[in-house]
Amino acid sequence: MDFRFNEQELAFQREVEDFIKRELPADWTERSIYWPGGYGTLAELEEVDPIIEQFTRKLAEKGWLTISWPKEYGGAGRSHIEQAIFHERMSYYRVRGGEVATLIGGPTILHFGSDEMKKEWLPKIARGEVRFWLAYSEPNAGSDLASIQTRAVEDGDDLIINGQKIWSTAAHAAHYAWMIVRTDPDAPPHKGITLLIVDNKSLGVTIRPLTNICGFHSFNEVFFDNVRVPKKNIVGEKNKGWYYVMVALDFERLVIPMGGFKRTFEEIAQYAREAKLNGRPLSQEPLLRNKLAQIAIEIEVAYMFFWQTAWMLDRGLVPNIEASVLKLVTTELSQKLANLGMQVLGHYGPLERNSKWAPLGGRVCTGYLDCISALVGAGTSEIQRNIIAMRGLGLPRS
């Protein structure tokens, strides 16, 4: 065992850190209000930030937008531990290291796409020129995702799509839907699903904004009314979409903002050291001190699942339990951290981010709202526990 990074990993960590410090404005971490584990307050959702656009281009130049991809497809060919290091550092500085096209779409095309599809899509994804949104959930298919009803019917060289998607994060800020549709209504639910790419500009696509409780336009509902999509946009084989979606879960396992948890905790702890209660630092109040320590402990435990997952993936092992636990414990930590922040900040906690009185840039106030999203999105906590129990521990379905 060796819990240290090796020379190469250390050098890479330094390179990432130097890059972030060089390429982002010094006050970025203060301006970015992203809450670790939350899905509703990504800076780029509110406005297409020219700083992020420029930063993304620079990431692309280094191959870091697609850090896990082989070099021949414009990636950096890095190990899973190195990917983990990258996401850890990026999130520490409250900046995102990828989106649906680079983290889910691209890797899936790499595994299952035709050569033609790889040539068409991978280079422009790696260059950061196209962004995808995840068109999975529907009004009646949330946790029970395999029950989607959006239909696609063949018509010559095309498919014609009718139906509705919802909770479509960043659909309005992306260019293409990474979408699952029902192509065989007579097959068992998970055997009649096809994965495909749909251009947002297609005739019949209507994107309507939904405002989340943080006040952000983060997600949308998207309607498909006789939308024509060329068959060449089908990923892999028809009716095998469910399988691809399940495999793709592996690709995003390390996209956990571990560094963001650490950073936010450090800020809350520093506030507690500086704030005074009865003339003493607030951090010396025994009950609060105990809570601060507990969150620090839980962050360390979460880090262990993070590195363990990366380490297992590098060895070709399947971290069924570890990856779901990682999602589960970090998102639940997101809520605990928000509660801790509120407690430490007291009356100042609920001040919104534009108030001159709001400490920590008002992030705790937004975070207290955004932390709700984490336990719901990307597989609820209940679904994660189901996966751990059934896939991990082999408990029976019925």
Partner 1 sequence: MNLGLSEEQEMLKTSARDFLQKEFPKKLVRQLDESETGYSPELWRKMAELGWMGLVFPEKYGGSGGSFLDLIVLLEEMGYNILPGPFFSTVVLGGLTILSAGNEEQRNEFLPRIASGDRILTLALTEPSARYDAAAINTRATTSNGNYVINGTKLFVPDANVADYILCVTRTKEEQNPEDGITVFLVDAKSPGIECTLLKTLARDKQCEIVFDNVGVPQNNILGKPDQGWTIIKDTLQKATVAKCAEMVGSAQAALEMAVQYAKERVQFNRPIGSFQAIQHYCANMVTDVDGARFITYKAAWKVSEGLPAALDVAIAKAWTGEACSRVTLLAHQIFGAIGFTMDHDLHLYYRRAKAGEIMFGDSDTQRAIVARELGL
- By annotation, the residues acting in catalysis are 252
- Taking the complex as a whole, the smallest distance from the CB of residue 154 to partner 1 amounts, in Å, to 39
Angstrom distances, CA of residue 193 to CA of 50, 196, 271: 38, 10, 50
Q: Cβ closer to partner 1: 167 or 305?
A: 305
Q: Cβ closer to partner 1: 4 or 201?
A: 4
Q: Please report which helix (H) or strand (E) contains residue 42, including its range.
A: none
The residue written with tokens 């009314």 in the block is 225
For the beta carbon of residue 353, count every other beta carbon within 10 angstroms. 16
Structure tokens, 192: 């009649």
Q: Cβ closer to partner 1: 30 or 382?
A: 382
Cα–Cα distance between 83 and 16 in angstroms, integer? Answer: 11
Q: Cβ closer to partner 1: 140 or 143?
A: 143
State the burial class of residue 108 (Cβ atoms within 10 Å of its Cβ: 0-12, 13-18, 19+). Answer: buried
Cα-Cα-Cα-Cα dihedral sign, residues 272, 372, 220, 173: positive
Cα–Cα distance between 385 and 398 in angstroms, integer? Answer: 16
Residue 117 contacts residue 98 (beta carbons within 8 Å): no
Q: Cβ closer to partner 1: 233 or 384?
A: 384
Instruction: Please choose, from the candidates 237, 113, 102, 116, the residue with its C-alpha nearest in 3D space to the C-alpha of residue 175.
Output: 102
The packing angle between helices 320-345 and 258-274, to 10°, is 20
For the beta carbon of residue 394, count every other beta carbon within 10 angstroms. 7
For 41-131, strand residue ranges (E) read none
Q: Where are the alpha helices (DSSP H) in 182-319?
A: 241-248, 258-274, 286-314
For 13-141, strand residue ranges (E) read 132-135
Q: Where on the chain is the footprint of partner 1 (CB under 8 A)?
A: 1-6, 9, 81, 269, 272-273, 283-284, 289-290, 292-294, 296-298, 300-301, 304-305, 307-308, 311, 315, 321-322, 324-325, 328-329, 382, 384-386, 388-390, 392-398
The residue written with tokens 């251009």 in the block is 199
Residue 379 contacts residue 308 (beta carbons within 8 Å): no
- Taking the complex as a whole, the smallest distance from the CB of residue 17 to partner 1 amounts, in Å, to 17
What is the three-class DSSP state of 372?
Answer: helix
Q: Cβ closer to partner 1: 4 or 22?
A: 4
Q: Mind giving me the DSSP string for 292-338?
A: HHHHHHHHHHHHHHHHHHHHHHHTT---HHHHHHHHHHHHHHHHHHH
Q: Cβ closer to partner 1: 201 or 315?
A: 315
Which amino acid belongs to residue 350? P
- Taking the complex as a whole, the smallest distance from the CB of residue 59 to partner 1 amounts, in Å, to 24
Instruction: Please choose, from the candidates 152, 132, 149, the residue with its C-alpha nearest in 3D space to the C-alpha of residue 140.
Output: 149
Q: Cβ closer to partner 1: 221 or 322?
A: 322
